[in-house]
DNA sequence: AATATTTATTTGCATATACAAACAATATCT
DNA sequence: AGATATTGTTTGTATATGCAAATAAATATT
């Protein structure tokens, strides 16, 4: 693999940001694999575990995903019997199943493992600066 | 939209990097829309225009995409009569069509427009620092 | 109260991307 | 030269994601 800093597009945030996201995604996938969950599924499920009854729209905001993506993720989590949705009028509430509750401690472990994994690869201080900087810029973007 | 810095996952690089990539992708899409090209198609096509005869594997490295993704992008560009592939043995060369060559100046404009657009939204110096920092970390990741 | 507007969620459709396997050709080794 | 390994590309299949439209319910307006 050509180093990012050697690619002809190294100065372009389009490539840098995409490449970073894909690499981090892959790292996260490794950590969550043992539970058979993709990172996005896992984080959504953790949100549901931490706030039972949470609504899809709120989850979408928290996870910075579109509502439709959250619907799709929920379909998968429901198939796996990890959440149930109850609809009252126009509102939907999402609840974790007992199976999901049992999984929670292992999920916390995966989170920790992921943090450890990427902090072993990246200088911790630089990583933390980077995240702050990315967040600041995310807030400036539409 | 909840600010990135207010989301419960604001400290997690998984979310930050994904959110950034999606936002930048959207910004880039706007710039390229007028030519009917998605950003990844556009950058691949520019590479082909700048290095006629380039091979898919090399393009994949430059664009930091997998070879199979490049194949898929090329299929689309071929459908649009913007590139042709010639295969000799196991090697493939990609060439721009005259139609693509005509498009080149407009493509350069889109690139510039995209740069301007995101630099109007983000403090230029901070953006440049961010890109450098992202590249450094990309190089540290597997 | 009837109509119009807004809000929350889901669907239909489309794009982007990758892994693993399949091919296909070339290079290496013996 | 023949067997084996390596390399470059494409396919089959799967995941992730979003936009725009469709639904459906709640709220506001007249």
| Nearest residue, CB atoms, A8 vs list B7, B62, B114 | B62
- Nearest-CA neighbor of A71 among A82, A55, A50? A55
* A127 to B7: CB separation less than 8 angstroms, yes or no: no
- b/e per residue, A107-139, with b = 16+ CB within 10 A? beebbeebbeebeeebeeeebeebbebbbbbbe
Which whole number is the average pLDDT over A112-125? 86
Per-residue pLDDT, B5: 55
Q: How many A×B Cβ pairs under 8 Å?
A: 179
Which whole number is the average pLDDT over A1-21? 74
Q: In A 64-123, which Cβ lie closer than 7 Å to strand C?
A: 67-68, 70-72, 74-75, 85, 87, 90-92
Which chain D nucleotides are covered by protein, judged by CB under 7 A? 7-12, 15-21, 24-26
Q: Give the best residue of A19, A29, A44 to mutate against chain B (max B CB count within 10 A).
A: A19
Per-residue pLDDT, A7: 62
Per-residue pLDDT, B118: 83
* B13 to A24: CB separation less than 8 angstroms, yes or no: yes
The chain-wide mean pLDDT, for chain A, equals: 88
Are B138 and A7 contacting, i.e. CB atoms less than 8 angstroms apart? no
Per-residue pLDDT, B6: 62
Residue A141's closest chain B neighbor by CA?
Answer: B121
Query: Which DSSP category does A5 fall into?
Result: G
CA distances from A108 to A30, A31, B9, B14 (A): 15, 11, 14, 15
Unique residue bearing structure tokens 């207010």? B6
CA distance A118 to B9: 16
Q: At what angle do helices B98-121 and B124-140 cross, to 10 degrees?
A: 110
Q: Which two tokens stand for residue A58?
A: 């709120």
Per-residue pLDDT, A5: 54
- pLDDT, tens digit (0-9, with 9 covering 90-100), for A61-101: 999 999 999 999 999 999 999 999 998 888 999 999 999 99
- b/e per residue, A56-79, with b = 16+ CB within 10 A? beebbbbbbbeeeebeebbeebee
Q: Does any CB of chain A come closer than 8 Å to the CB of residue B125?
A: no
Per-residue pLDDT, A122: 85
Per-residue pLDDT, A42: 94
- pLDDT, tens digit (0-9, with 9 covering 90-100), for B124-133: 888 888 888 8
Residue A62's closest chain B neighbor by CA?
Answer: B7
Q: How confident is the model at residue A10 (pLDDT cuts 50, 70, 90)?
A: low
Region for A64 from its dihedrals, namely left if φ exceeds 0, alpha if ψ lies in -120 to 50, beta otherwise:
left
Q: How confident is the model at residue A137 (pLDDT cuts 50, 70, 90)?
A: confident
- pLDDT, tens digit (0-9, with 9 covering 90-100), for A47-64: 999 999 999 999 999 999
Which whole number is the average pLDDT over B26-45? 91
Give, rounded to a whole angstrom, the gap between the first and last alpha carbons of chain B.
32
Per-residue pLDDT, A1: 46
Residue A101 (CA) to nucleotide D28 (C1'), in angstroms, measures: 42
CA distance B87 to A71: 43
CA distance B66 to B45: 16
- pLDDT, tens digit (0-9, with 9 covering 90-100), for B94-136: 999 999 999 999 999 999 888 888 888 888 888 888 888 888 8
Q: Which two tokens stand for residue B48?
A: 């082909």
CA distance B57 to A118: 28
Q: Does the pLDDT at position B1 exceed 50?
A: no
**pTM for the model:** 0.87
Are B46 and B117 contacting, i.e. CB atoms less than 8 angstroms apart? no
CA distance B7 to A117: 22
């Amino acid at each position: 693999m050509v180093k990012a800093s050697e690619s002809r597009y190294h100065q372009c945030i389009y490539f840098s940001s995409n490449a970073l996201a894909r690499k981090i995604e892959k790292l996260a996938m490794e950590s969550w694999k043992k539970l058979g969950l993709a990172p996005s599924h896992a984080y959504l499920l953790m949100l549901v575990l931490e706030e039972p009854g949470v609504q899809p729209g709120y989850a979408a905001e928290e996870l910075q995903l579109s509502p439709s993506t959250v619907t799709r993720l929920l379909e998968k989590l429901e198939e796996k019997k990890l959440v149930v949705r109850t609809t009252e009028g126009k509102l939907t509430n999402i609840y974790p199943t007992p199976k999901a509750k049992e999984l929670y401690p292992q999920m916390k472990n995966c989170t920790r493992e992921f943090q450890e994994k990427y902090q072993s690869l990246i200088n911790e201080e630089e990583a933390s600066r980077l995240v702050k900087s990315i967040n600041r810029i995310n807030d400036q973007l539409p």
